[in-house]
């Protein structure tokens, strides 16, 4: 005759649950950090796709005598007289810029859709708590990037042109008065825009198409500019426009 199998007692179950709780508490920081790193790297790759697409578009446009698709500050930055072209338009938000760059309003009509760069995906602008836009639509809440405007071809390739919107760009290089040697404090994170990465770090894509992720401890101007010694030419004003 088989003996009845003895189950776990309440005390044993509580011990097992307690052990699992301790293990989860120990592993959670490592798991959370790994997930954040993966999210930031994916976000960086998407930003790189945007900048590389713009670089290619600008190369093609230059051969046709057209100016850059990057947003400009002033008329003498090279704005086009053609108001139907992106170079002839003025943008006060990165959302408006991306709407025009990717021709969002015509996205759902294959016959009319004419983006300035090919291969657009809504995920390029979203990520880490910032939801992707629906086809044919783009709202502020769908854009996780701050965009630079007003820079020129003679600026270094290490100048940031896309910055995850949770990073405060107040201490970024913007004019000839900038002195990188004075900028040693950490950049504020997650205060104005908690998403996409809060206070954990930020993502930056440079004018040359390089994409880097920075944890909070490395979010300093001297890290972002790689301690490069540079001067922004007199008369040039870079502005970072948020969504």
State pLDDT tens for residues 136-150.
999 999 999 999 998
- pTM of this structure: 0.82
Report how far residue 43's alpha carbon sits from residue 28's, in angstroms, rounded to the nearest whole number: 22
Report which of 154, 137, 167 is spatially closest to residue 47, judged by C-alpha positions: 167
State pLDDT tens for residues 84-126.
789 888 899 999 999 999 999 999 988 889 999 988 999 999 9
What does the block give as tokens for 56? 């290619």
State pLDDT tens for residues 222-231.
889 887 777 7
Report how far residue 88's alpha carbon sits from residue 80's, in angstroms, rounded to the nearest whole number: 4
Report how far residue 202's alpha carbon sits from residue 211's, in angstroms, rounded to the nearest whole number: 11
Per-domain boundaries in the chain: 13-241
Q: Work out the percent of the chain whose per-residue pLDDT is above 70.
A: 84
Residue 102 confidence (pLDDT) = 96
State pLDDT tens for residues 187-197.
999 999 999 99
State pLDDT tens for residues 49-87.
999 999 999 999 988 888 889 998 754 455 556 667 898
Is the pLDDT at 8 greater than 60? The verdict is yes
Strand order in the sheet with 211-215: 211-215, 201-206, 160-164, 145-149, 239-241
What does the block give as tokens for 11? 């005390």
pLDDT, averaged across the chain: 85
State pLDDT tens for residues 20-58.
777 666 755 655 566 778 889 999 999 999 999 999 999
Residue 172 confidence (pLDDT) = 92
Buried b (16+ CB within 10 A) or exposed e, 125-145: bbbbebeebeeeebeeebbbb
Report how far residue 135's alpha carbon sits from residue 114's, in angstroms, rounded to the nearest whole number: 14
Is the pLDDT at 179 greater than 80? The verdict is no
């Amino acid at each position: 005759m088989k003996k009845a199998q003895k189950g776990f007692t309440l005390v044993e179950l509580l011990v097992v649950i307690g052990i699992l709780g301790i293990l989860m508490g120990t592993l959670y920081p490592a798991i959370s950090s790994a997930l954040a790193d993966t999210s930031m790297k994916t976000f960086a790759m998407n930003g790189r796709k945007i900048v590389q697409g713009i670089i290619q578009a600008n190369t093609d446009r230059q051969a046709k005598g057209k100016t850059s698709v990057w947003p400009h500050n002033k008329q003498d930055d090279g704005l086009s007289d053609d108001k139907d072209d992106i170079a002839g338009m003025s943008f006060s938000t990165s959302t408006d810029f991306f709407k025009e760059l990717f021709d969002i309003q015509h996205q759902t009509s294959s016959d009319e859709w004419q983006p300035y760069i090919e291969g657009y995906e809504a995920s390029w602008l979203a990520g880490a708590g910032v939801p992707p836009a629906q086809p044919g639509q783009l709202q502020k809440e769908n854009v996780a990037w701050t965009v630079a405007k007003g820079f020129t071809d003679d600026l270094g390739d290490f100048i940031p042109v896309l910055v995850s919107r949770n990073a405060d760009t107040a201490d970024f290089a913007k004019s000839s008065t900038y002195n990188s040697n004075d900028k040693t404090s950490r950049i504020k994170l997650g205060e104005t825009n908690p998403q996409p990465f809060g206070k954990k770090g930020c993502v930056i894509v440079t004018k040359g198409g390089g994409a880097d992720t920075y944890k909070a401890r490395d979010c300093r101007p001297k890290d972002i500019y790689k301690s490069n010694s540079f001067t922004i030419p007199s008369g040039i004003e870079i502005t970072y426009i948020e969504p």
